[in-house]
Amino acid sequence: MLKTLSSQIHFVKEVQSIDTTGVTPLRAIRDETVEGQKDIEIGLDDLKDLLAREQRVGRAGRIKKTNEDPAESREAENWDSLGSAEETHGRFFVVRTGKK
């Protein structure tokens, strides 16, 4: 744990030693320009396809989602989750560590 802490402190000191004169401080990672705000704005046109998949049912008018394409869900069911595993044991994948 001390070795990890020491390397983290070393990293912080290295970052602090960088000359940042003339660099504008970062206020946010996302794009806060007018164009950036328009890109992340969600309007009714963006939701039309999703809203078309909903129907109100029952006396309370609860929303029920309908699946337009059941082929997508079948594709997920047939996915081989162990296909990329290097080592398996039955229906589980095996993770080997360096420790014995």
Rounded Cα gap, residues 50 and 66, in angstroms: 10
Q: Is residue 99 part of a domain?
A: no
Residue range of the domain that includes 40: 30-68
For residue 22, pLDDT beyond 80: yes
Q: Is residue 21 part of a domain?
A: no
Rounded Cα gap, residues 18 and 21, in angstroms: 9
For residue 16, pLDDT beyond 90: yes
Q: Is residue 91 part of a domain?
A: no
Q: What are the tens digits of pLDDT across the range 36-94?
A: 888 888 888 888 888 888 888 899 889 888 776 666 666 777 788 888 888 999 989 89
- Do the beta carbons of residue 63 and residue 54 sit within 8 Å? yes
Number of domains in the chain: 1
Q: Is residue 55 part of a domain?
A: yes
Q: Is residue 36 part of a domain?
A: yes
Which of 2 and 77 is assigned the larger pLDDT?
A: 2
Q: Is residue 57 part of a domain?
A: yes
